[in-house]
């Protein structure tokens, strides 16, 4: 976003009227349906609506909240919406804002997942996904480039990224172990060589003014946003209940080894490992969901990521696809209730994935903000982000293998898919096309190649 040193020439001089709960509700619902394009586009959309057009919050306060959300595991755009709603309308404001950011995308993805798994063998759908798979491979490669160029500022961070890649690619080290190792390296490095682990801010200074805001730079922190140990304890206790009761019921009804129970436990762990965005946790998801649990195939994972990219809401919503396909294929409610099993699993994994994000904001907002800029807290996160680059590179290699050699190295190399990967990468990097445009065009090309050219 553009940052200047002066107040905009046409900035209004009067403060907007206070924002009512239902007025904010309508905006959060609107943003839930418009949240396409990944976290950068979603954050930009919120900035335009909240800071520029409506002036509900000042630029400085918005960026301060964003920097806090960037430090947390979980989808930063959804957490930012939760933070804004909480700041304006207390706990229920945060819950409503965060939930409405998720619900439209969840409903869409349940429908798309059903169409995919029920009708994926239809030539029309197969052709679309033939073009989509190479585009998704290019998108992941682009994510490596984008995150790496922003993160790997020195040789130490490059070395951490390389070590993470080797660890997961060559030795199949679990993703949580890589994160733990990065935390240790960052903690020590922040003391031994602090200059190598400074984040540099990342979002610039808040110098642009769009006129007085409802919550302005000098507006006192609302009473409900002040840190109190009693509030922290209350939110943590309620959060623990909201997690433990569903998990206990799953364990009692189905048993610990049942797919539903394991999905709840697995995606709880995934939610706590999403430092660096959704692409960072995707390797952990494919490592567990494909290799360890067999909930879906590598090809289905690639297709699910494509659906997630074309869906409103956070990209990590792809977990709903994983849950739907796993429950549908395993006929967990019997052969006559395939959709019901898939929908239940999609809602279940979404609950366990997003619940920690609400707890982080509602419990930790006032407390964690005081640590922003403190190197002993930020250095481990810098190291984690560097390791994430290596892990995502491994994900790109994984996707490329299954797209370019669909039958394994023993089969033939798919030159057409390779050309589509290159074209999609050029569109993303050279011509700055957004992800949805690239996936849509690639899908149409795949459809033509399968139905007209018959490749």
Of 30-44, 51-65, 195-209, 210-224, the range with the lowest mean pLDDT is: 195-209
Based on C-alpha coordinates, what's the Rg of the chain? Answer: 22
């660890």: which residue's tokens?
167
Does residue 5 surpass a pLDDT of 50? no
pLDDT for position 310: 74
Question: Over the stretch 315-326, which tens digit does the pLDDT of each residue have?
Answer: 889 999 999 999
Task: Provide the H-helix boundaries in 152-214.
Answer: 155-170, 175-192
Please, which residues have CB within 8 angstroms of residue 371's CB and are 6 or more apart in sequence?
377
Q: Is residue 12 included in any domain, yes or no?
A: no
Q: Is residue 3 included in any domain, yes or no?
A: no
Does residue 104 surpass a pLDDT of 90? yes
């798979």: which residue's tokens?
133
Does residue 393 surpass a pLDDT of 80? yes
Q: What whole-number distance in Å separates Cα of residue 198 and Cα of residue 380?
A: 10
Return the closest-CA partner of residue 351 out of 233, 242, 196. 242
Q: Is residue 5 included in any domain, yes or no?
A: no
Q: Is residue 421 included in any domain, yes or no?
A: yes
pLDDT for position 358: 96
Decide which of 352 and 120 is more confident. 352
Q: What whole-number distance in Å separates Cα of residue 416 and Cα of residue 372?
A: 48
pLDDT for position 202: 42
Q: What whole-number distance in Å separates Cα of residue 360 and Cα of residue 239?
A: 10
| pLDDT band with cut points at 50, 70 and 90 for residue 306 | confident
Sheet strands (E) in 290-404:
none
Q: What whole-number distance in Å separates Cα of residue 154 and Cα of residue 281?
A: 24
Domain of residue 191: give its range. 21-453
pLDDT for position 6: 45
Decide which of 433 and 82 is more confident. 82
Does residue 356 surpass a pLDDT of 70? yes
pLDDT for position 304: 87
pLDDT for position 396: 84
The pTM for the full model equals 0.75
CB 450 within 8 A of CB 123: yes
Of 151-155, 199-203, 258-262, 411-415, the range with the lowest mean pLDDT is: 199-203
C-alpha to C-alpha distances, 385 to 70, 169, 308, 347, nearest whole angstrom: 11, 18, 22, 29
Q: What whole-number distance in Å separates Cα of residue 312 and Cα of residue 319?
A: 14
The H helix count followed by the E strand count for the chain is 16, 0
pLDDT for position 307: 84
Of 91-100, 241-250, 278-287, 365-374, the range with the lowest mean pLDDT is: 365-374
Please, which residues have CB within 8 angstroms of residue 26's CB and are 6 or more apart in sequence?
none
Three-class SS state of 209: strand
CB 357 within 8 A of CB 82: yes
Return the closest-CA partner of residue 259 out of 234, 283, 286, 292. 292
Q: What whole-number distance in Å separates Cα of residue 285 and Cα of residue 282?
A: 5
Q: Is residue 13 included in any domain, yes or no?
A: no
Q: Is residue 11 included in any domain, yes or no?
A: no
Q: What whole-number distance in Å separates Cα of residue 20 and Cα of residue 30?
A: 16
Question: Over the stretch 106-115, which tens digit does the pLDDT of each residue have?
Answer: 999 999 899 8
How many Cβ atoms are within 10 Å of 137's Cβ, its own excluded? 28
């207390």: which residue's tokens?
90
Of 170-174, 232-236, 411-415, the range with the lowest mean pLDDT is: 170-174
Calculate the CA 387 to chain-centre distance: 17
Does residue 443 surpass a pLDDT of 70? yes
Return the closest-CA partner of residue 453 out of 81, 39, 101, 127. 127
Return the closest-CA partner of residue 99 out of 349, 313, 320, 305. 313
Q: What whole-number distance in Å separates Cα of residue 285 and Cα of residue 448?
A: 32
Q: What whole-number distance in Å separates Cα of residue 258 and Cα of residue 190?
A: 43
| pLDDT band with cut points at 50, 70 and 90 for residue 53 | confident
| Chain mean pLDDT for the chain | 85
């947390």: which residue's tokens?
72
* Residue-wise DSSP of 250-292: HHHHH-TTSHHHHHHHHHHHHHTT-TT-HHHHHHHHHIIIIII
The arithmetic mean of pLDDT across residues 89-100, rounded, is 95
* Residue-wise DSSP of 71-137: HSSS-HHHHHHHHHHHHHHHHHHHHHHHHHHHHHHHHHHHHHHHHHHHHTTSHHHHHHHHHHHHHHH
Please, which residues have CB within 8 angstroms of residue 416's CB and are 6 or more apart in sequence?
449, 455
Question: Over the stretch 201-231, which tens digit does the pLDDT of each residue have?
Answer: 444 444 456 788 888 877 877 888 888 889 9
Q: Is residue 211 included in any domain, yes or no?
A: yes
Count of residues in the chain: 455
Report the interhelical angle of 375-404 vs 415-429 (nearest 10°): 150
Q: What is the total count of domains within the chain? A: 1
Report the interhelical angle of 76-119 vs 298-309 (nearest 10°): 120
């Amino acid at each position: 976003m553009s940052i200047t040193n002066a107040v905009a020439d046409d900035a209004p001089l009067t403060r907007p009227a206070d924002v009512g709960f239902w007025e904010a509700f309508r905006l959060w619902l609107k943003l839930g349906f418009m949240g396409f394009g990944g976290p950068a586009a979603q954050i930009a959309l919120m900035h335009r609506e909240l800071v520029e057009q409506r002036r509900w919050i000042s630029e400085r306060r918005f960026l301060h909240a964003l920097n806090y959300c960037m430090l947390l595991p979980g989808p930063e755009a959804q957490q930012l919406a939760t933070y804004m709603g909480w700041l304006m309308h207390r706990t229920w404001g945060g819950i409503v804002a965060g939930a409405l950011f998720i619900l439209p995308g969840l409903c869409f993805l349940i429908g798309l997942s059903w169409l995919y798994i029920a009708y994926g063998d239809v030539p029309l759908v197969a052709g679309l996904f033939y073009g989509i798979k190479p585009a998704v491979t290019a998108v992941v490669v682009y994510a490596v480039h984008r995150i790496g160029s922003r993160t790997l500022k020195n040789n130490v961070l490059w070395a951490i990224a390389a070590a993470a890649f080797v660890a997961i690619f060559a030795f199949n080290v679990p993703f949580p172990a890589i994160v733990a190792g990065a935390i240790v390296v960052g903690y020590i490095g922040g003391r031994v060589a602090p200059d190598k682990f400074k984040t540099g801010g990342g979002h610039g200074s808040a110098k642009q003014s769009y006129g007085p805001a409802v919550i302005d730079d000098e507006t006192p922190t609302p009473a409900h946003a002040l840190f109190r140990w009693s509030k922290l304890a209350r939110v943590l206790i309620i959060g623990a209940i909201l997690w433990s009761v569903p998990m206990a019921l799953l364990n009692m009804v189905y048993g610990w080894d049942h797919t539903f129970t394991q999905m709840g436990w697995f995606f709880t762990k995934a939610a706590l490992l999403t430092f660096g965005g959704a692409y960072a946790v995707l390797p952990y998801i494919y490592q567990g969901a494909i290799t360890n649990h067999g909930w879906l195939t590598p090809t289905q994972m690639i297709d699910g990521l494509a659906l997630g990219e074309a869906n409103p809401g956070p990209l990590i919503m792809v977990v709903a696809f994983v849950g739907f396909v796993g429950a549908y294929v395993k006929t967990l409610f019997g052969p006559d209730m395939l959709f019901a099993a898939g929908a239940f699993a999609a809602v279940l994994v979404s609950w366990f994935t997003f619940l920690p994000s609400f707890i982080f904001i509602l419990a930790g907002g006032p407390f964690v903000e005081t640590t922003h800029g403190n190197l002993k807290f930020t250095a481990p996160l810098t190291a984690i982000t560097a390791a994430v680059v290596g892990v995502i590179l491994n994900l790109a290699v994984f996707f490329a293998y299954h797209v370019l050699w669909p039958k394994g190295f023993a089969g033939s190399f798919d030159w057409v898919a390779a050309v589509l990967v290159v074209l999609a990468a050029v569109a993303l990097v050279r011509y700055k096309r957004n992800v949805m445009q690239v996936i849509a065009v690639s899908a149409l090309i795949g459809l033509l190649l399968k139905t007209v050219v018959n490749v």
